[in-house]
């Protein structure tokens, strides 16, 4: 690999998917992986094959079907993990096993209950085992930034000795700040890589202090030539480095960073929307690069400047990240127009899902008149409930007001059988949720509820995102409607369907 080339390693499907409430199916993961290949990231971390049969299946499906990027699977130092990762990756043209173990005192003592010597042995044995399957092995000393630097570096050296070719330094808990991170990375570069041009030094930063992107970029000056990130910055807690922010920082400030990337940024916006739609995680309006306001100008002075010359207030062109389109459909638009809009938005749906989304579009277009691109995206972001085994909302009636205790009656249909339930609550949304819980006969707890406007005006559509908890598992659901109570009920049904299936 050329020394001026920065490798973009995307972990949306592994670390990103670890964000609370996200549970992607294999087909969701395949869709995201295909999109990441279109975006031309260099490495896709497809999952953690040993963590569950579902993850193993998804890593294997991606290894079989997605061409272009290297496909990676995470593995602990356990022999079984390495074997599972190798098995899942076997169909891939280009594959990588990513081995990790913690090196910080708190993780070693409290979590692993291992001594330093035991950790060193585990590193050597696991990297050697991984190399017996693949040529491309990455090693990560977890919680590197809270580790004793000498010990952490010694584990990296042992990994290189055993055959690892990428050494990734994770700021697992988002503790680093750019100035000290760059110092640590300089040490790793000179002591672990030295003059071994075949060794790549990498970063993997979490965003607990909002510094993940800044820390990752600072490491480039210390010689890092791989950055790990996730689309929309999703991931554990406050998330990971945003892949899209790294790509655009490098492209926009190539003069400063002096490295090149292979990514095709024009697919960033579509990738961000796909990830948001399938994970149920909304993208904040002012999110850099992919937020819907990232290229919107509100003040008169700014608008005036941009009309004269876009570069007065813009350092990137919306089109360069794929943010430029204005699709509007009306209530008379038919299946062909709807299919054409989906194609322009790069969305492909199976027949049943297409029919369900089209029916929903017609229902909402009848109420609203016009549906914009954002409305279409919101409609397809609802989980279709047409699949066998899933309940769907047949009807909801609510009553309330400031002198009446709010109540809701819901009817759901499951496998041809209708179930009705009525409940009171401290608001109409709460009453609807209690009634749905009874209809599903599930004791799930609502732990997160968010309403986001999709379009503005009196007839605006809203997207409702909920997260429910059953036992210790969380499940997300999204509902879209011109009516917030109905949108909420649809979101609850989607989440309760997942909880019931678990």
| Angle formed at CA 216 by CA 210 and CA 218, multiple of 5 degrees | 105
Record the tokens describing residue 12, joined without a space: 């949306």
Applying the rule CB under 6 A, the residues between 12 and 41 that interact with ligand KIV are: 15
| Nearest distance in Å: CB 384, ligand KIV | 32
Contacts (Cβ under 8 Å, ≥6 apart) of 143:
102, 103, 104, 106, 107, 170, 172, 173
Site string for ligand KIV, 56-75 (x = CB under 6 A): ------------------x-
Residue closer to Zn ion by CB (options 32, 439) is 32
The CA-atom distances, in angstroms, between 295 and each of 287, 292, 438 are 10, 7, 45
Contacts (Cβ under 8 Å, ≥6 apart) of 318:
294, 295, 324
Chain position carrying tokens 């492909």: 348
Residue closer to ligand KIV by CB (options 172, 272) is 172
- 142 near ligand KIV, judged by CB under 6 A: yes
| Nearest distance in Å: CB 262, Zn ion | 23
| Nearest distance in Å: CB 185, ligand KIV | 15
d(CA 381, CA 17) in angstroms, rounded, equals 17
Alpha carbon 159 to its chain centroid, in Å, reads 29
Residue closer to ligand KIV by CB (options 204, 267) is 204
Contacts (Cβ under 8 Å, ≥6 apart) of 458:
none
Choose among 385, 492, 388, 386: nearest CA to 442.
492
Stretch that binds Zn ion, among 13-21, 128-136, 366-374, 493-501 (CB under 5 A): 13-21
- 170 near ligand KIV, judged by CB under 6 A: yes
- 140 near ligand KIV, judged by CB under 6 A: yes
Record the tokens describing residue 196, joined without a space: 């071994």
- 172 near ligand KIV, judged by CB under 6 A: yes
* DSSP assignment letter at 49: G
Measured in residues, the chain has a length of 502
* DSSP assignment letter at 384: P
Structural contact between residues 407 and 426, judged by C-beta atoms closer than 8 angstroms: no
- 17 near Zn ion, judged by CB under 5 A: no
Residue, CB closest to Zn ion? 15
Strands 166-171 and 417-424, sheet pairing: unpaired
d(CA 389, CA 454) in angstroms, rounded, equals 29
Residue closer to ligand KIV by CB (options 15, 244) is 15
- 382 near ligand KIV, judged by CB under 6 A: no
Applying the rule CB under 6 A, the residues between 93 and 122 that interact with ligand KIV are: 100
Size of the site for Zn ion (CB under 5 A): 1
- 437 near ligand KIV, judged by CB under 6 A: no
| Nearest distance in Å: CB 206, Zn ion | 6
Residue closer to Zn ion by CB (options 173, 248) is 173
- 174 near ligand KIV, judged by CB under 6 A: no
- 216 near ligand KIV, judged by CB under 6 A: no
| Nearest distance in Å: CB 286, Zn ion | 25
| Nearest distance in Å: CB 492, ligand KIV | 32
| Nearest distance in Å: CB 45, ligand KIV | 9
- In the list Zn ion, ligand KIV, none, the entry touching 104 (Cβ below 5 to 8 angstroms by class) is none
- In the list ligand KIV, Zn ion, none, the entry touching 222 (Cβ below 5 to 8 angstroms by class) is none
Residue closer to ligand KIV by CB (options 88, 377) is 88
| Nearest distance in Å: CB 8, ligand KIV | 16
Strands 328-330 and 226-229, sheet pairing: unpaired
Residue closer to ligand KIV by CB (options 151, 449) is 151
Residue 482 phi, psi dihedral angles, 5° rounding: -80, -10
- 15 near Zn ion, judged by CB under 5 A: yes
Record the tokens describing residue 70, joined without a space: 């290297």
Residue closer to Zn ion by CB (options 163, 239) is 239
Sign of the CA dihedral 316, 320, 322, 324? positive
| Nearest distance in Å: CB 90, ligand KIV | 22
* DSSP assignment letter at 72: E
d(CA 377, CA 156) in angstroms, rounded, equals 45
Record the tokens describing residue 274, joined without a space: 């796909």
| Nearest distance in Å: CB 136, ligand KIV | 16
Which class for 2: exposed (0-12), middle (13-18), buried (19 or more C-beta within 10 A)? exposed
Q: Which residues contact Zn ion by CB under 5 A?
A: 15
Q: Which residues contact ligand KIV by CB under 6 A?
A: 15, 74, 100, 140, 142, 170, 172, 204, 206
């Amino acid at each position: 690999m050329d020394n001026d080339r920065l490798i973009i390693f995307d972990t949306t499907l592994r670390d990103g998917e670890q964000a609370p409430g996200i549970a992607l199916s294999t087909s969701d993961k395949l869709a995201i992986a295909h999109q990441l290949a279109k975006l031309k990231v260099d490495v896709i971390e497809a999952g953690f094959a040993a963590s569950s049969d579902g993850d193993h299946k998804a890593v294997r499906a991606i290894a079989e079907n997605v061409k272009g990027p290297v496909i990676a699977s995470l593995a602990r130092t356990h022999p079984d993990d390495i074997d599972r990762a190798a098995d899942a990756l076997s169909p891939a043209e280009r594959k990588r096993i990513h081995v990790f173990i913690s090196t910080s005192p708190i993780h070693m003592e409290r979590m692993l209950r291992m001594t330093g010597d035991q950790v060193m042995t585990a590193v050597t044995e696991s990297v050697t085992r991984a190399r017996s399957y693949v040529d491309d092995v990455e090693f990560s000393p977890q919680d590197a930034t809270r580790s004793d630097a000498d010990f952490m570096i010694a584990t990296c050296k042992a990994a290189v000795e055993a055959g690892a070719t990428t050494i990734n330094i994770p700021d697992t808990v988002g503790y680093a700040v750019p100035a000290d991170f760059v110092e640590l990375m300089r040490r790793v570069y000179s002591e672990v890589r030295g003059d071994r041009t075949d060794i790549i030094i990498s970063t993997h930063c979490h965003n607990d202090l909002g510094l993940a992107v800044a820390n990752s970029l600072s490491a480039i000056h210390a010689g890092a030539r791989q950055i790990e990130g996730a689309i929309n910055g999703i991931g554990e807690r406050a998330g990971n480095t945003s892949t899209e922010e790294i790509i655009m920082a490098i492209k926009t400030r190539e003069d400063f960073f002096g490295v090149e990337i292979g990514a095709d940024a024009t697919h960033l916006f579509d990738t961000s929307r796909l990830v948001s739609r399938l994970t149920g995680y909304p993208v904040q309006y002012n999110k850099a690069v992919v937020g819907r306001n990232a290229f919107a100008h509100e003040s008169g002075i700014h608008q005036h400047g941009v009309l004269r010359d876009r570069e007065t207030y813009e350092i990137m062109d919306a089109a360069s990240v794929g943010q430029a389109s204005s699709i509007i459909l009306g209530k008379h638009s038919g299946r062909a127009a709807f299919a054409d809009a989906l194609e322009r938005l790069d969305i492909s749906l199976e027949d049943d899902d297409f029919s369900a989304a089209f029916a929903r579009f017609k229902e909402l277009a009848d109420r609203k008149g016009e549906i914009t691109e954002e409305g279409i995206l919101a409609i397809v972001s609802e989980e279709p409930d047409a699949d066998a085994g899933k309940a769907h909302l047949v009807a909801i009636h609510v009553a309330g007001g400031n002198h009446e205790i709010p109540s809701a009656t819901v009817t759901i249909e499951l496998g041809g059988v209708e179930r009705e339930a009525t409940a009171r609550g401290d608001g109409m949304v709460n009453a609807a949720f209690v009634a749905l819980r009874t209809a599903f006969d599930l004791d799930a707890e609502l732990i997160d509820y968010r309403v986001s406007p999709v379009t503005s005006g009196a007839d605006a559509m809203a997207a409702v995102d909920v997260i429910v908890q059953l036992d210790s598992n969380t499940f997300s659901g999204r509902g879209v409607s011109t009516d917030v109570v109905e949108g909420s009920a649809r979101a609850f049904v989607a989440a309760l369907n997942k909880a019931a299936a678990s």
